[in-house]
Structure 1
Amino acid sequence: MSLEESAKVVAEQIRRQQFVEVYAHHDADGIAAGAILCHAMLRAGIRFRLRICADISAAELSHDAVSLLCDLGSGKEDLPPETIVVDHHIPLFGGQFHANPRLEKIDGDRELSAAGMAYIVAQEMGDNRDLAGLVIPGIIGDGQAFAGRNLAIFNEGVANGIIVPDKGITLAGRDMAERWLLATRPYLPGISGSDSAVADLLASTQEDNGLKPDVLISLAVLTSVPEASAEGLMLLYGDTMHLQREVIEDAHALTAVIDACGKSGCGDLAVALCLRSSVEITEAWEVTRKHHLAVIAALGEVRPVQEGCAVYECGNATLSSDVADVLARDRVQQAPVLVYARTGEECRISTRLPHGTTANLGLLVRELAAACGGNGGGHHSRAGATIPCKRLDAFVKGWQEGLAA
C-alpha cells in the first residue's frame, strides 16, 4: 500500500464520522498535525473536539466517538482497532486506520513528520493545499530534514505561494533583542537569558546603517564556542520561511510559540494560532518567553548525576524534553543523553542521540520502560518514557548496559 493509499483509507474513515475526538501530542509537530486535520474536518462539516496531551493511554480515550490520535498512538499495541492514528513514530498499533510513513518504508525520523502525514491525509479529504505552511513547524520542531516527502510538501507550498523561502538568523522572538535573549535553538552559553549580554552584543555590532548580521553572528559564536557544539552553532543562520497564511509569518517563530505553549499546558493558545486566530497572540508570546527563560535557567543548573555520564536530572518535567534537546544538540557529547524529572511517584524520561553517535533509542527505551512497569518509545534518535520513580535506577542501569552492548 502506498502512502497516498493509506492516507486515503484514514481520510475516508474520518469523513464517515459526524463527530471525532482528536488527541494531539503537546509539541509543535503534534499540535500542527492536529490543527491540519481539524481544518480539514471543519471544511468537510465534521464536528470535533481537540485535546493536547503529553501522552495518551487506551483507557483515557473517549468511548462516545471515534478517536483520532495525532503524533501519538503508533507505539500503542492496545488501542481499540477502530482508533484512527496519524503518526510517524515506530509502529506497533495494528489497526487498519493507521497513516504512518514507516509503514511504507519512509524515514519517519528525517523525511516525514506527523504534520506532514496529516497534510497528506487532509489532501485526501479535499483541497487543503493552503495548509502546507503548518507542516513546517512539524519539520523544524522535530529537527527533521527538508528531504523526501518533507521536501515535496515544501516545494508544493512554494509553488502555490503558501511558503516563501529566505535566508537569515533563525532565532525566534518579536524583536532582535528577544531573539537572542530567548535563544534555545541553539542555546548560546554566555548570551541566552542574559539581558546585559544581549545588550552588549547588539551594541557592539550596531553601525550607522543598522546591525551587521555577519559580525553579530561571529561575535555570538566566539562568545559561545568554548561550550557549544559546532552542530548547534550552525543553526544560527540558514533557511528561513515566510508562511503566508499563518498568523505568525516566520516559521521558526511560529514553531517556537506552538511548542512552548503546548509544553507549558497552554495548548489552547497554540491551537488557536494554528487555526489562524491572532486574538491571543500576545499572551502566547508571553508564555513562550517564560518557557524559554525557564529552560535556560534549568540548563544553568543541570549537572550529570555522576562524572563522565550523560545522565542528567531536571527539576521540572515540563522542561526536561527541551533540556534534553539542548544537551544533545548544542553541547559536545560522546554518548546518547538521558534526562529525567520526577513528578510525584512517576519519572519522565527524555533521551536524545547527539551528532556522531549511534543507537536505536526508540526500541531501547520502549523495552526498558516496559521492564520497569512503565511505557515509552519514539524515534531512533529521540525517545521518551514514563516509569515509576522507584524503578529509575534499574532503568538507568539498563540504559547504560544497552548502549554498551
Structure 2
Amino acid sequence: MSELEKLINLAKNAAEKIRKYRFVRIVSHNDADGLTSAGIMAQALLRAGIRFQLSIAGRLDETVIEEVNRSISQGELVIFCDMGSGQPELIGKVAADVVVLDHHKPVGQSPAKAVVNAHLVGIDGATDISASGTCYLVARELAAENVDLAGLAIAGAVGDRQLFRTANAFILEEALKTGVVSVRKGLKVGDGDLADVLTYSTEPFLDITGYPEKVKEFLNHLELSGNIENLSEEEASRLVNAVALKLVRQASPEAIEAVIGEVLLLNRELVKNVYDFISILNACGKHKVYGLALSLCLKSQGVADEALSLTKEHDKKLALDIRENVEKIRKGESIWYITTIEALSTGSLASTVVRYLHPELPFICINESEGILKISARGTRELVSQGLDLAFALREAAGAVGGGGGGHSVASGAAIPIGSAEEFLSIADRIIGDQLRKARKGNQNKNKNKK
C-alpha cells in the first residue's frame, strides 16, 4: 500500500467517525490554510446534514480548550483543523470526542479518536500536503460530490507555500480533471492593474516593491501597462523575464521557482485567481474578520468586493511595513532576526526576508503584541536539507524561557513572555547553529569516505 493510500485510509476512518455525530464543534487556525480548512469542513458538514459550530483561533492554548468545553456536551465531537498535533496534553483536556485534521509534526501519543496527519504515513506535511488538503481528503470520503472543494485545498497549499508533489499532486490532478481548477502561465501574482500589483505585492518582493515611482519606471522600460490578466503571451513573457533577472541577484532558488510558472485559477470560487484568494484570507485573518473569510469559502454572494477592498488596503500597508522593517534586521551567529512592536504580519515579514533578501540563514521575527512576544521563524527547503529544524529549535528555546512553540521544520512560531527575547534568541541561535554544523560535518565525513 502506498503512503498516499495509507493517508486516504486515515481520512476514510475519520469520515466514518464524523458521520456518527449529530453536532460537531470545529476549531481551525486563522491563516489562509486554516480558513480554507474550516471552509471545507463547514461545507462538508452542511451537505451531510450535520449541525456544527465553528470558531477560528490564532493558536491552540488553554483558553481555546476552556471555550470549547463551555460549548460542548459529552456525546458530541470536536474537530481541530490545522492544529492539535503538537499538543496532545491539551487535546486530552477536551470534555468530548476529538478528531485532529492537521499537517504539523505530531508530538507524543494523541488521545484523539482519529488523527489524519501525513507525517504518520511518511508524507512530509510541511511541503506535500496542507491542513486544507487533509480536510479535503476527509470531505471527499464523506461524499463524492465534495470533490468541488478541491479548489479550497489548493488555495490552502499555496497559502502555506507548499510543493505540488505526492498528496498535493493527487489533489491538484483531481481538481484539474474535474475542471475545479485550471492553469494560466505567467507571474504567480494576483490580478489587477500591473503597477498596483508590482508596487504592493510582497510575493515577489523586489527592489522596486513599495516604491510606485520605481515600478512606473520599470514598466515604462518594458513598455507594459494595463491589467496583468489581460497581457498577451509575449507581454507576459517580457514581464516574467524582467522579474526573473531581478530575483536571480538575491532571492533563494525556491522563491524564483515559486513566483514564476503556472497561475492556478479556482473555477468554483468567487475569487478565481488563487493569489488574490489567499491574499484575502490572510488579510481577513490579520484583521480578525473571520466571518468574511468563511463567507468567501462558503461562496456567499456579494462578499467578494468587500473582501477585495479590505485586502488592497491591507496589502498596501503590509508592503510598506515590510519595506520599513527590513532596514532594522540584525545578524546573529546562525540567524538573521528582528524585534518589532505591533508589526502587521510577522509571518509575511519572515517569509519575505528569508526568500528574497537573506536566504543563506533562517530568519526570526519577534513581535510585541497583546501583552506577549509572538514569534515567526522561517527557513528555506535548502536549509532544511542542511539540517535545519525550526519546529524543534522554537519549541526548545520558547520552553526554556517559559513560553511554547512548534510548527514545521521550515516554518515555525512561538509565544514567549515579554522581557525574554534576548535569552530566547541566544538559545535559538545556538540550537540552529548546532543543527547546521552537525549536518555539514556529516556531509564532510561522507565526502571523505567517498574519496
TM-score range with shorter-chain normalisation? Answer: over 0.9
Corresponding position of 1:178: 196
> Are positions 1:116 and 2:128 aligned together?
no
Tell me if 1:242 matches 2:271. Answer: no
User: Residue 152 of structure 1: CA displacement?
Assistant: 0.6
Deviation at residue 339 of structure 1 after TM alignment: 0.6
CA distance in 1, matches of 2:191, 2:123: 34
- TM normalised by structure 2 equals 0.84
Answer whether contact 2:321 2:343 (CA < 8 A) is retained: no
2:165 equivalent to 1:147: yes
Deviation of 1:263 after TM superposition, in Å, equals 2.3
Structure 1 residues 53 and 290: CA distance shift in structure 2, 3 A: farther
Q: Does the Cα contact within 8 Å between 1:374 and 1:388 map onto a contact in 2? A: yes
Q: Following superposition of structure 1 onto structure 2, how do residues 6-405 of structure 1 map, counting pairs within 5 Å?
A: 6-61=10-65, 62-63=68-69, 64-65=71-72, 66-78=77-89, 79-80=91-92, 82-92=97-107, 93-127=110-144, 128-190=146-208, 192-206=209-223, 212-222=235-245, 228-302=251-325, 303-305=328-330, 310-358=336-384, 359-405=388-434
Q: Which amino acid aligns with 2:379?
A: L
Distance 2:265 2:24 in 1: 32
Deviation at 1:2, TM superposition (A): 2.3
**Structure 2 counterpart SS, 1:395:** helix
The answer to whether the Cα contact below 8 Å between 2:332 and 2:429 also exists between their aligned partners in 1 is no
Q: Measured at CA, do residues 221 and 155 of structure 1 come closer, stay the same or move farther in structure 2, by a change above 3 Å?
A: closer
Contact 1:305 1:313 in 2 (8 A): no
3-state secondary structure, aligned to 1:402: helix
Q: Is the partner of 2:357 in helix, strand or coil?
A: coil
Are the equivalent residues in 1 in contact too, given 2:28–2:35 (CA < 8 A)?
A: yes
Q: Which moved more, 1:346-355 or 1:219-228?
A: 219-228
TM superposition shift of 1:194: 2.7
Counterpart AA for 1:343:
S
Partner Cα separation in structure 1 for residue 166 and residue 379 of structure 2 = 22
**CA-atom RMSD in angstroms:** 2.3
Distance in 1, Cα, partners of 2:254 & 2:170: 25
CA distance in 2, matches of 1:345, 1:58: 17
Q: Is the 8 A contact 1:313 1:339 kept in 2?
A: yes
SS at match of 2:374: strand
Deviation at 1:73, TM superposition (A): 1.1
Deviations along 1:90-125, one digit per CA (max 9) or x if unpaired, are: 112342321111111111111111111001110111
**Alpha-carbon displacement from aligned partner over 1:291-318 (angstroms, at most 9, x marks no partner):** 2222222222222245775011233254
Pick which of 378-387 and 24-33 moved more.
Answer: 24-33
Structure 1 unmatched ranges of 5 or more: none
Partner SS, residue 300 of structure 1 = helix
Q: Judging changes above 3 Å, is the alpha-carbon distance between structure 1 residues 372 and 46 closer, same or farther for their aligned structure 2 residues?
A: same
Distance 1:235 1:109 in 2: 15
Rounded to whole Å, the distance in 1 between the matches of 2:421 and 2:332 is 18
What's the CA shift string for 1:227-252, capped at 9, x where partnerless? Answer: 54454344332111221111111122
Cα distance in 2 between the residues matched to 1:389 and 1:109: 29
* Larger displacement relative to structure 2 (310-319 or 264-273): 310-319
CA distance in 2 between partners of 1:274 and 1:149 (Å): 22
Q: Secondary structure at the match of 2:280?
A: helix
1:44–1:188 Cα change, 3 Å: same
Question: Are the equivalent residues in 2 in contact too, given 1:231–1:330 (CA < 8 A)?
Answer: no
Q: Secondary structure at the match of 1:330?
A: helix
Q: Retained in 1: the 8 A contact 2:14–2:115?
A: yes
1 CA distance for matches of 2:81 and 2:13?
Answer: 16
Aligned length: 404
Q: Give the whole-Å Cα distance in 2 for the aligned partners of 1:318 and 1:366.
A: 24
Stretch moving more, 124-133 or 73-82: 73-82
Q: Distance in 2 between matches of 1:265 and 1:20?
A: 23
Please name the residue that 2:443 is paired with: none
TM, length-normalised to structure 1: 0.93
Question: 2 CA distance for matches of 1:36 and 1:161?
Answer: 18
State the one-letter code of the partner of 1:340.
Answer: I
In 2: Cα distance, 1:284 partner to 1:26 partner: 16
- Quote the sequence identity (%): 30
Structure 2 regions of 5+ residues with no counterpart?
435-451
> For structure 1, which segment, 368-377 or 31-40, has the greater mean C-alpha deviation from structure 2 after superposition?
368-377
- Give the residue type in structure 2 aligned to 1:235: A
**Distance in 2 between residues matched to 1:370 and 1:256, nearest whole Å:** 32
Contact 1:217 1:236 in 2 (8 A): no
CA gap 1:124/1:196 in 2 versus in 1, 3 angstroms? same
The 1-side partners of 2:322 and 2:247 are apart by 14
CA–CA distance in 2 between the matches of 1:254 and 1:58? 31
- Matched with 2:448 is none
